[in-house]
A and B are shown apart, each in its own frame.
Chain A
Amino acid sequence: MTFEVPDEFRYTESHEWVAETDDGYRVGITDFAQDELGDIVFVELPDEGEELAAGDEFGVVESIKAVSDIYAPVSGTVAAVNEALFDAPELVNDDPYGEGWMLELTDVDADELDGLLDADAYEAQTE
């Protein structure tokens, strides 16, 4: 089974992704992660304005199989959370890199992204 791993995103070993947008950086979990978890039934996200350091737990994803912590790939301030997930957690399964995004971060040091995995390295990790 192959999983989608967009080239322009950066990844963590704990299966989060981060991508630059016009306003900041979006964060979510990968296609591989959502497939491993199975049907996601609940997502807990931080409050807007919260400051995260890279590696901080910022929320929880609950599926019918497991409950998993999710970690900030880079440091930053939470500018927005995807409130659609509170009513429709299945968006993470259906569209992990799009409608299933979780956080929008600002105040991100772009250099921190260099320390993350690129698409090839992440793909190799999931094989």
Chain B
Amino acid sequence: MIKIFLIFILLASSSFAIAKDKPKLRWGADVESGAPYSYKSPENPDLVIGFEAEIVEALAKELGMEVEFVQNSWDGLIEGLIRGDYDIVVNGVEITADRAQVVHFSQPYYYTSESLAVRKSNTDITSLHDLKGKRVGTLDASLAQKILNQQPFQITTLGYDEEVLCYGDLILGRLDAVLLDEPIALYYAKPNVDLKLVGGPIGYMEYGIVTRFGNPEFDARIKKALDKLIQDGSIQKILERWNLWNTSTAKVWGQSPVPQTRPEAYEKYLETAWGKRTLLEKIKNYISFLPLLAKGAVMTLELSIISMALAMFLGLCAALSRLYGPAPLRWLSVTYVEVFRGTPLLIQLYLIFYGLPHVGISFDPFVAAVLGLGLNYGACEAENYRAGILSIPKSQMDASQALGMNWFQSLRHVILPQAIRVVIPPVTNDFIALLKDSSLVSVISMVELTTIYGQLASTYFDYLGLGILTACVYFVIGLPFVRLSRYFETQLTTSRSTPPKAVK
């Protein structure tokens, strides 16, 4: 039965591969990195925009391919590429010697540096040297972090995995300065009235297109196409639209550093993300997010319901094995419960999705998500059911057996019906917990409610308002189940305080 279930899931979730004339160029990126790299369009949240989105679009056109965007969180981008979930990564990935050991880089499509941002009121920090003894935020595993760590004096470096949260903490006073890539500073720090950029460009880095090893032809085609786009000025035009045309890049490509095109994309971004809005406009804005959040909510619900069904099945099997099975089955059940209950869900998800392929077992993200959630919560359910069954007095089993029922009949007709009533509250609890834990699957490139929140919040730099909205959505989608469980509880309660109506 479970096999049919899983096959159904696989079919339902696999992308509809409608035969098209053009082959797909699968591009992996983390939309939560935000502007100006790749982020969800405020107008059409299904669309990914940004200067890199445009570069990839142009690249695909040049290669005669069609872009297929695959979301994955920043942590897992390289892993996902190596796994084969997508074929290129274009997401502000700096070309470094370390990375070049595991993946292949194209020639750079952009040259930039780091920018130092401080609060507007700050007067004592104007350059890198002034950071001595200060608290400085940056992106984890980035060049900026390296630069900070290499300074001859002591700096308290705090690594974030969300760039925009850095600036948030800077404004709040948790940090004294933030060192991040120029494009990020241009879009998130400069427009902010509470912050200012100080000092000149720091360091030097190149962004490249990342591919797996082992495809020299593909890499050669990309190189050729990118060369052409650089030569004919397409890349320059894109960069100019986004206000990213700088001296470093101009120098390498032998062009004038003065931009020829209006930075319309940058202006549009400023208007949407930083434009002053009245309360009414803000509310309208939030309402416009609801369809996107709803889409995420549907995925969250789908995931949660299917995973919970799996968990309940596994839990019942494990509980019955532990209570009534022969010694080897009992041992298996105990081991399953202890292992899956005692290790973090997040690590289990990573292992299933990123680890297993190394031994030849590869899963679709949806299947991996259901397996991870199902196995983890199955262990919790096993204990719930075991407690429920144990709470039924042994005398009930005595009575049913004395009447001639065998073990299975006793369980089915006498023990389990009573045990179900006992376990409804903890099982409901577990379902709500699973609903919330489903947010973790964003790390295995599943797009659900929390992922959408992250994307919107980073685009609009609005963690609070959107956060409250998302929390409300979670609460609302959990309500029907709470109601359902309460209904079951009252229906199945064994004590009746008033006699029932006489029938016949």
A-B interaction: no
Which residues from chain A sit less than 8 Å from chain B, CB to CB?
none
**Which B residues fall within an 8 A CB radius of A?**
none
